[in-house]
Chain A
Amino acid sequence: MTDPAIDIRNLVKRFGSTEALAGIDLSVSRGAFCVLLGPSGCGKSTLLRLLAGLEAPSGGGIRLSGRPVADGRAGVTVAASGRNLGMVFQSYALWPHKTVQGNIVWPLKIAGIPPAQRRARVAAVTRMLGIEALQDRFPGELSGGQQQRVAIARAIAPAPDLLLFDEPLSNLDAQLRVEMRSELLRVHRETGATVVYVTHDQIEALTMATWLVVMRDGRIEQQGPPGALIAEPATPFVSTFLGNPPGNLLLAEPADGGWQVNGVACDGLPVADHAGPVQLFYRPERLTLHDQAGNRRIAGRFLEALPIAGRSIVSADGVDGGSLRRLSAIVDQPPPLAYGDPVFLELPDHPDGVFSMTGERLA
């Protein structure tokens, strides 16, 4: 087998006393569309900048196609320009004093590509992104979506092996975002480059990724194909971060040989022998809505119902404060309830996952 396109071992990055990356291990195969997903401040951009060679690691190492490019001891050993990659920034970072064509051609000039080939590349990428007509405009004269296309064209013009995107769609309006998603997938297909794509938007992540990496506080929580992460979240964080609406996480405490969730007795948990409290994960579509108390029925107050694709997402919060914040259930019929009405959510007899209090998956 050939070397993976990206191979990252125990990568650490510190800024003074903050540890932006706290030991990242990641391997991305050639041609993959790898999405880094996580809340703001979790270190996604930092990881991308280390991959690009814009910053040096504090520890660990990075290999691109088997070739070491940076490590904690030697710093950056192969500079950004030697890594054969292209990058699209959140702000697009188009050079404002250069025309569209000037923006695309400058990196090719710097790379010493002869003029005839340069022209051919510019023609090819502007055609691919449908911006031939904009070549003589300045960035200030383009709409957000057009700037985005120019930034992508500039990044792919040198035909890089690796394309890095840092939240490229977050400055676009909703409609354009949907359009650009498929555009990016097409560019990925046509260039055959390996893509690392940073976002905090799980819709983008789930629709585009072939390999999904969920990050939190400078660490990788879980990685794998998106379907696998949805089906089998490895940590409580992933279980509540992924999915729309997000999954439900409930605290279960041992009581009289059984379990209690928010003051309600629950039988039939698969971790009967566990001594301390655990966290239970339930998918929204498995909760049911009731108007009376009962076995495994959690009392709450109705908050809102959102009709979606012929069903309704119902949200409620727990009555007695406690550990329960917000529960979501997907039901077929919108309930005839108003804000604040009492409601009972019944848990199925088997949870979709059980996590220890420290976050390990127990079942």
Chain B
Amino acid sequence: MVVRLGAGGFGAGRLRLSTLPLGTVAWGLVGLLVVVPLANIAIELASADGMQAIRDVFTGRIARNMLWLPLQNTLAIGVVVAVACVALGGLLAWLVTMTDMPLRRTIGFLAAIPFMIPTFSAALSWTVIFGDDRLGPASTGFLHALGVPVPAWLAWGGVPIAAVLIGHLYSICYLMIAAALVLVGRELTDAAEIAGASRWQTLSGILMPVVTPTLVAAGALCFAEAVSSFSAPAILGLPVRFHTLATRAYGAIETGNPERGYVLIATMIIVAAALLAVATLAGRRRRSFATVGGKGGRRIRMTLGPARWPLAIAALAVVLFTTVLPALALLLSSLSAQRGTVFGALTLHYWIGASDPAIAQGQAGILQNPQLVRSFVVTLGIGLATGLVALAAGAVIGAAIHRTQRRWAAAGLRQAAFLPLLVPGIAIGAAFIGFYGAPIGPLPSLYGTPMLIVIAGVAATLPFAVQSVTSALSQISPELEESARVGGAGPLRTWLAVTLPLAFGKLLAGFVLVFVKMVRDLDLVILLYTPQIPLLTVLAFRYASDGFMQFAHAVSVVILVLSVGAHLLANALGRSSQPWLKAPAG
């Protein structure tokens, strides 16, 4: 989501004060955080071992299982998820912003939440509902326990992975498409109506084409997110040996074949980047239409007639299934004395119980477990540290982009800072292990230190941090700062008195976004954590792999609450992310 900076007028009249050192520092940061670790992967691949790994992976005996089947799975999941998300998100966006569907505000509010739920929690909740007993009683789901036969394809593998990713990502499509739809001038569709176009002709001939660039961008984003996801296939695919590139790369690196892992990771990056490039090129001629329609005007909502309630109920079902249901399933599971017994005996043991040798090999409830408390503190600490450092790095880079007078230099810096968007979390993890995991000259190896996780996190979230800083800065008209300067305030005073307070809301939102991404992330840290740094997501993943499902679900509930809570708080503090819900019902 590379959002263009507004109005061109920045450079004009600005002091060139300190442009050079700022630019140098910014490039230094981007270099250390993004360029060098990624280039290092390329260098590794160019080595003799790397070339051998490329040959093995692409043409060797293992090629089919290592690359081609997982690639096929990955692409299939990416395409299905992208198409379904655009269709589902687009339909919801249209219903909420353009029609008289009842309950549309509630539905709109809920539709933004799945994006805040970690895929990792969503995947676990799928097993709570649809799991079968093929992996033993510990993975039995509610449906199976109720005696409903759950076909194997619905319990594990590609279908559940795609479903979980759709349930997570349609939310982004909804937000992007709704934002585009509300910008389409009402007069565009009025003009079609006067021409005599039917509703369908207006929808297919005017509205859809006008928002097509947004549909393409949203689809490409979902595709990239889906092909790079690790959590969902790890939880729903690995138990039945269903592999994607991400799980194969993880497996290769974990089993001491990092070069093979790098080959797979490079393949993932190329697949995601190729699609995004195609999408960008396809959208180039059509540019962004969304702003062409002039003032949005008061919207006349399309009347749905007798379809109003059926559509509202269907939409409500979708948003409830993707928000309340997973949360409830996890909660209920964490409270069930016995896995798979729905409405059986409930217990708080997995939350607060003391160690009892009869249950779960004597594991104490998570709130009694010193490891969990430590893990909670470590996770919060890493989240906060990453948020602060990312924002500081984003501020330097954002300010450099903002101030650089040479357009190409600013564009280059921005592109480099946004590069991590293309790189799957697990690949960033691998790149950082590869580069910072070994001593660099006099500097010691960072492996096993929280610092490694923090700087990898900063690299992974840099696009979001830079975006929040540049959008905060671009909001402040240069005249505001200049008027303070003319009034006699020095640069520091101006910055403290004018710039910072004005930018505060956006910066805070950026900070929370980075924080939440870290708190709920598994993809990035799965290769970086060590037992000394027990992150919550890793803890839950470990519990789940060891079959202690209720514990995994309890931890997962904690993460979910933390993540959704922080998001909602940021929304409440900053400007609403869905202004169209506020408009008076017209």
Footprint of B on A, CB under 8 Å?
15, 49, 52-55, 79-82, 85-87, 89-97, 106-107, 110-111, 139-140, 154, 158, 171
- Name the residue in B289, B292, B300 with the highest tally of chain A Cβ atoms < 10 Å from its Cβ: B292
Known: A91-B294, A97-B209. A110 touches B190 (CB 8 A): no
Known: A91-B185, A95-B188, A97-B286. A54 touches B194 (CB 8 A): yes
B297 nearest in chain A by CB position? A91
In the bound assembly, the distance between CA atoms of A45 and B226 in angstroms comes to 47
Residue from A79, A91, A106 in contact with B187 in the complex, judged by beta carbons closer than 8 Å: A91
**Interface magnitude class on chain B:** 20 to 34
Contact B209 A81 (CB under 8 A): no
Residues of B close to A81: CB separation below 8 A: 193-197
Contact A111 B196 (CB under 8 A): yes
Residue from A15, A79, A86, A93 in contact with B294 in the complex, judged by beta carbons closer than 8 Å: A93
Question: 0/1 per residue, B257-293, Cβ < 8 Å to A?
Answer: 0000000000000000000000000000011010011
Residues of A close to B187: CB separation below 8 A: 89-91, 93
Residues of A close to B212: CB separation below 8 A: 97
A-facing residues in B287-329 (Cβ within 8 Å): 287, 289, 292-295, 300
A140 nearest in chain B by CB position? B287
Question: 0/1 per residue, B37-55, Cβ < 8 Å to A?
Answer: 0000000000000000000
Contact B293 A93 (CB under 8 A): yes
Write 24 A-B pairs (CB below 8 A) sorted by A numbering.
A15-B586, A49-B190, A54-B300, A79-B193, A80-B193, A80-B194, A80-B196, A81-B193, A81-B196, A82-B196, A89-B190, A89-B191, A90-B187, A92-B294, A95-B209, A95-B210, A96-B210, A97-B209, A106-B205, A110-B196, A139-B292, A140-B289, A140-B292, A171-B294
Minimum CB–CB distance from B48 to chain A (whole Å) comes to 52
Residue from A53, A87, A90, A110 in contact with B201 in the complex, judged by beta carbons closer than 8 Å: A110
- Name the residue in A85, A93, A171 with the highest tally of chain B Cβ atoms < 10 Å from its Cβ: A93
Q: Flag whether B416 is at the interface (Cβ < 8 A).
A: no
Residues of B close to A85: CB separation below 8 A: 194
Minimum CB–CB distance from B12 to chain A (whole Å) comes to 22
Residues of A close to B287: CB separation below 8 A: 140
Residues of A close to B586: CB separation below 8 A: 15
- Name the residue in B191, B192, B292, B294 with the highest tally of chain A Cβ atoms < 10 Å from its Cβ: B191
Known: A95-B210, A139-B292. A55 touches B191 (CB 8 A): no
Q: Flag whether B206 is at the interface (Cβ < 8 A).
A: yes
Minimum CB–CB distance from B491 to chain A (whole Å) comes to 38
Residues of A close to B191: CB separation below 8 A: 87, 89, 93, 95, 154
Minimum CB–CB distance from A97 to chain B (whole Å) comes to 4
A-B pairs with beta carbons under 8 A, tally: 80
Question: 0/1 per residue, B173-216, Cβ < 8 Å to A?
Answer: 00000000000010110111111110001000110011010000
In the bound assembly, the distance between CA atoms of A327 and B414 in angstroms comes to 58
Residue from B195, B295, B300 in contact with A106 in the complex, judged by beta carbons closer than 8 Å: B195
Residues of A close to B209: CB separation below 8 A: 95, 97
Footprint of A on B, CB under 8 Å?
185, 187-188, 190-197, 201, 205-206, 209-210, 212, 286-287, 289, 292-295, 300, 586
In the bound assembly, the distance between CA atoms of A93 and B195 in angstroms comes to 12
Contact B196 A96 (CB under 8 A): no
Contact A93 B196 (CB under 8 A): no
In the bound assembly, the distance between CA atoms of A95 and B207 in angstroms comes to 9
Minimum CB–CB distance from B348 to chain A (whole Å) comes to 51
Minimum CB–CB distance from B543 to chain A (whole Å) comes to 52
Minimum CB–CB distance from A17 to chain B (whole Å) comes to 12
Minimum CB–CB distance from B579 to chain A (whole Å) comes to 20
In the bound assembly, the distance between CA atoms of A140 and B284 in angstroms comes to 13
- Name the residue in A15, A96, A110, A171 with the highest tally of chain B Cβ atoms < 10 Å from its Cβ: A96
Residue from B190, B195, B292 in contact with A54 in the complex, judged by beta carbons closer than 8 Å: B190
- Name the residue in A15, A82, A140 with the highest tally of chain B Cβ atoms < 10 Å from its Cβ: A140
19 further A-B contacts with Cβ under 8 Å, apart from A97-B289, A107-B195, A110-B196, are: A52-B190, A55-B300, A80-B193, A80-B196, A86-B194, A89-B187, A89-B191, A90-B187, A91-B185, A91-B293, A91-B295, A93-B187, A95-B210, A96-B188, A97-B209, A106-B195, A107-B196, A110-B195, A111-B195
Residues of A close to B293: CB separation below 8 A: 91, 93, 96
Contact A96 B289 (CB under 8 A): yes
Residues of B close to A140: CB separation below 8 A: 287, 289, 292
Contact B201 A93 (CB under 8 A): no
In the bound assembly, the distance between CA atoms of A140 and B285 in angstroms comes to 10
Contact A97 B195 (CB under 8 A): no
Contact B194 A52 (CB under 8 A): yes
Residue from B185, B197, B210 in contact with A110 in the complex, judged by beta carbons closer than 8 Å: B197
